[in-house]
Amino acid sequence: MLIETVMRNAGRLFIQCINRARQKLHGITRGKQSNSVLIENPLAEASEYYRLWNKARECSYPTVDHYERDCKAAIETAWFHQLALLTQVVIKRSDLCYQHGRLLYATLVQYARKHVRDHLNIVETGTARGFSALCLAKAMHDTRTTGKISTFDLLPHDVKMFWNCVRDADGPRTRANLLQDYSALINRYVVFYQGDTKEELAKMTFPRVNLAFFDSVHSHEHVMTEFSSINGLQETGDIIFFDDYTPELYPGVVKAADEICSTYGYGKKIVIASSQRRYLIAEKQ
């Protein structure tokens, strides 16, 4: 009886976690979408994802171009958009904007050039389909850097599901399978962890975190908890990249990022891609 109750509760907890993760993955907690939480069937034909992709590729982002020029680094355009088709082009109400991939790449290339001999530890919270982890892996590959990207999500890596992406029409698949064309980069640089970052990050023992990218739960409390796990592991010049540093939409992220910068001594570089997408690149002073 007791075992049954424990199993039932554990099962419920697991489903709650997956639901929360899916809500996040499909943009629901960003107030941009009202689709049902669980996607049990593909949301659209592949042709619809291609239409959205073509539209997204037409947009220009002068502030991001400018940032790349400053960093003297820009991700290969064709490679970037191909990855985005698989991992960023989704059905949602708001416009697609995946410029954080370009910014992450440029930021890490610039950093890696200054740390040629170092083994880099990168931490990402919120893997989703793997887009940002792969942009970071590409930066490490292109600069011949050694190191690891540890990326965390509630979502499993090896369970078949629909991802609200162009490949859904062919049936559910694991993230590992979705990203199989990128397996060389992944095997070399990326380690996928499944679990709540509040617990999983605290278990890690990184000697140093050269770059952290916080992109899981967008609340003040959650960002502060994630930061507390890497606090003290960064040296001068190390970086925290905050996605969605957008006061109107994510006041919690902005409050946490500002608090971290002022209390723990980080310089701030803000990039505004659009009214809905702002990013903060914080550098340890």
Indicate whether 217 belongs to the interface with ligand SAM (CB under 6 A). Answer: yes
Q: Per-residue x/- marks for ligand SAM, 265-284, CB under 6 A?
A: --------------------
Q: In the complex, what is the shortest distance from the CB of residue 135 to ligand SAM, in angstroms, rounded to a whole number? A: 8
Q: Which is nearer to ligand SAM, 210 or 216 (CB)?
A: 216
Do the strands 211-214 and 119-125 form a parallel or antiparallel pair, or are they unpaired? parallel
Q: Which is nearer to ligand SAM, 209 or 217 (CB)?
A: 217
Q: In the complex, what is the shortest distance from the CB of residue 265 to ligand SAM, in angstroms, rounded to a whole number? A: 26
Indicate whether 246 belongs to the interface with ligand SAM (CB under 6 A). Answer: no
The stretch among 53-61, 151-159, 184-192, 249-257 that binds ligand SAM (CB under 6 A) is 151-159
CB 181 within 8 A of CB 92: no
Q: Which is nearer to ligand SAM, 14 or 262 (CB)?
A: 14
Q: In the complex, what is the shortest distance from the CB of residue 20 to ligand SAM, in angstroms, rounded to a whole number? A: 6
Give how many residues touch ligand SAM by CB under 6 A: 21
Indicate whether 155 belongs to the interface with ligand SAM (CB under 6 A). Answer: yes
Taking CB under 6 A as the criterion, the residue among 86, 126, 168, 234 binding ligand SAM is 126
Indicate whether 152 belongs to the interface with ligand SAM (CB under 6 A). Answer: yes
Taking CB under 6 A as the criterion, the residue among 107, 136, 166, 196 binding ligand SAM is 196
Torsion sign across C-alpha atoms 152, 182, 107, 115 = positive
Indicate whether 21 belongs to the interface with ligand SAM (CB under 6 A). Answer: yes
Taking CB under 6 A as the criterion, the residue among 99, 121, 132, 234 binding ligand SAM is 132
Do the strands 239-242 and 211-214 form a parallel or antiparallel pair, or are they unpaired? parallel
Indicate whether 80 belongs to the interface with ligand SAM (CB under 6 A). Answer: no
* Alpha carbon distance 206, 215 (integer Å): 19
Q: Which is nearer to ligand SAM, 20 or 118 (CB)?
A: 20
Residues that bind ligand SAM (CB under 6 A): 20-21, 24-25, 87, 100, 125-126, 128-129, 131-132, 152-155, 196-197, 215-217
